[in-house]
Amino acid sequence: MRDDLTFVERIQRELRDVRWLDPEEIRSRARRRSQRRVVVAAVVLALAGVSAVAVAAPRTPPPPVQPAASAGPTRHEITTDALLQPADLPQQVDVQLSQSGLGEPVLLDHLLGACRTSQGRPDGWQYSILSRSQTLVPKRAGAILAESDGLVTQGLFRLTPDAAIELLATLDDLVAPCAEWNSVGDYKVGAATGTGAALHRWAVVQRGFAGDGAALLRHTGAQPVDQKTGEPVGAAPRPSSTAVVRVGDLITVLSLGQAGTELELRSLAQAAARRMCAAANPAC
């Protein structure tokens, strides 16, 4: 048996650990993940003029490109120890929804993509070579809540070195068209229906706090209102933040549930960067 596995053989070994979900379960989990961005997810997605499925509609990704050769050993697979570990969090957690994939988009925010495509622009997502994702859930005596209060979600992606650098370098340009975006569309909250509007804002608010490069992306949404009556629709959403961190050719995307703070998110981003070091090209 050869000591050095080929790239394809390593991928095959990784994929043996993957549990493939049926389509309905994938859609169900995608809907729950999208809820972490906005308290009234159904309202905001409706106001975006698209459905949850349409926002995350798959596109045909470009064929995966292997990283350029380097003088040292090149790492291809992403092992689970490159992800955040329960010990990195201040509270006890359960790990759920751990998955791996090939050619996945480095998706920063569903609604940000909807904002861009509503203007006739591409969504702007880079495509990865390999990826792993996980959700860390605090241990609770009762059942896990449907909404992601207290959750930590992480996506870890291997890109080509140039693409990883470009992702952070062009983040301001990606966000600029959505500095202010007024979404209009039909809504349904409980028994109430109508046409509503909501103003969304995105901004890169901090950089350079972890790894080889990092950025904090903040989304704020105004109270949705009924266009006809001017009455508020549902509850006002809380601001949400996403940390994007690069270490070598790896990019991680981190977000917290509604109870999390940006200070906690930056601290987790630093822990994530340390975990990424051993798996990155080049290693730290």
pLDDT score of 72: 52
Residue with the bigger pLDDT between 5 and 98: it is 98
Q: Is the pLDDT of residue 251 over 50?
A: yes
Quick one: average pLDDT of 256-276?
A: 92
For residues 12-29, b (16+ Cβ closer than 10 Å) or e, as one string?
A: eebeeeeeeeeeeeeeee
pLDDT score of 27: 45
Q: What is the pLDDT of residues 154-177, one digit of tens each?
A: 999 999 999 999 999 999 999 999
Determine, yes or no, domain membership for 178: yes
Q: How many CB atoms lie within 10 A of CB 245?
A: 26
d(CA 47, CA 224): 8
Residue type present at position 169: A
Determine, yes or no, domain membership for 237: yes
Determine, yes or no, domain membership for 122: yes
Grade residue 284 by pLDDT with cuts at 50, 70 and 90.
confident
The first and second tokens of residue 197, run together, are: 């509007």
pLDDT score of 190: 82
Rounded percentage of the chain residues whose pLDDT exceeds 70 = 69
Q: What is the pLDDT of residues 31-85, one digit of tens each?
A: 444 443 333 333 333 344 333 222 333 344 444 444 444 445 677 888 899 999 9
Determine, yes or no, domain membership for 64: no
**What domain count does the chain have?**
1
Count of all residues that appear for the chain in the document? 284
Residue with the bigger pLDDT between 73 and 24: it is 73
Determine, yes or no, domain membership for 273: yes
Helix (H) / strand (E) containing 267: helix 262-276
Q: Where are the beta strands (DSSP E) in the chain?
A: 93-102, 130-138, 152-158, 181-189, 192-207, 213-221, 225-226, 240-247, 250-256
Mean pLDDT for all residues in the chain: 77
Q: How many CB atoms lie within 10 A of CB 76?
A: 18
Determine, yes or no, domain membership for 185: yes
Query: What predicted TM-score, i.e. pTM, was given to this entire model?
Result: 0.72
Full domain range(s) for residue 18: 7-58+74-279
pLDDT score of 68: 42
Quick one: average pLDDT of 121-129?
A: 95
Quick one: average pLDDT of 127-133?
A: 94
Tokens 């009455």: give the residue. Answer: 231
51-55, 103-107, 210-214 — which one is most confidently predicted on average?
Answer: 210-214
Q: Is the pLDDT of residue 280 over 90?
A: yes
Q: What is the pLDDT of residues 223-237, one digit of tens each?
A: 899 888 888 888 888
Determine, yes or no, domain membership for 154: yes
Lowest mean pLDDT among 246-250, 261-265, 271-275: 261-265
The first and second tokens of residue 26, run together, are: 């994938």
pLDDT score of 150: 54
Task: At 102, give phi and psi (nearest 5°).
Answer: -125, 135
Determine, yes or no, domain membership for 68: no
Quick one: average pLDDT of 246-262?
A: 91
Q: Which of 49, 40, 7 is nearest to 235 (CA)?
A: 40
